[in-house]
C-alpha cells in the first residue's frame, strides 16, 4: 500500500470519535431539556452543568480533528 493511501486511511480513522461526539451531544442536550421540562426551577444549576459537559465533549472532537490533520499534513 502506498504511503499516501495509508495517511488518508489513518486520517479517516482518527475522525471516528466525532461520531461519538455527535451522539454524546444529543444525549446531553436531550436530557437537559427533559430535566428542565420536569422541574423548571433547577434550570440555573443544570445550565452550568450543560455548558461544562458541552465543552468537554466538544474538546474531544477538536482533538480528533487536530490529530487527523497532523497525520495528513505533517507525517
Q: How many Å apart are CA 49 and CA 30, to the nearest integer?
A: 13
Q: How many domains does the chain have?
A: 1
Q: What are phi and psi of 39, to 5 degrees?
A: -145, 90
Domain at 21, CATH number: 1.20.20.10
Domain hosting 65: range is 3-73
Place of cell 488518508: 8
Q: What's the pLDDT tens digit per position in 29-64?
A: 999 999 999 999 999 999 999 999 999 999 999 999
At 38 the pLDDT is 95
pTM over 0.75: yes
Band of residue 75 on the pLDDT scale cut at 50, 70, 90: confident
Q: What's the pLDDT tens digit per position in 6-19?
A: 999 999 999 999 99
Amino acid at each position: 500500500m502506498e504511503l499516501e493511501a495509508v495517511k488518508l486511511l489513518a486520517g479517516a480513522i482518527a475522525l471516528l470519535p466525532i461520531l461519538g461526539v455527535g451522539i454524546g451531544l444529543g444525549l446531553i442536550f436531550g436530557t437537559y431539556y427533559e430535566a428542565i421540562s420536569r422541574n423548571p426551577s433547577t434550570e440555573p444549576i443544570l445550565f452550568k452543568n450543560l455548558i461544562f459537559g458541552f465543552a468537554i465533549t466538544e474538546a474531544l472532537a477538536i482533538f480528533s480533528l487536530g490529530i487527523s490533520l497532523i497525520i495528513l499534513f505533517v507525517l
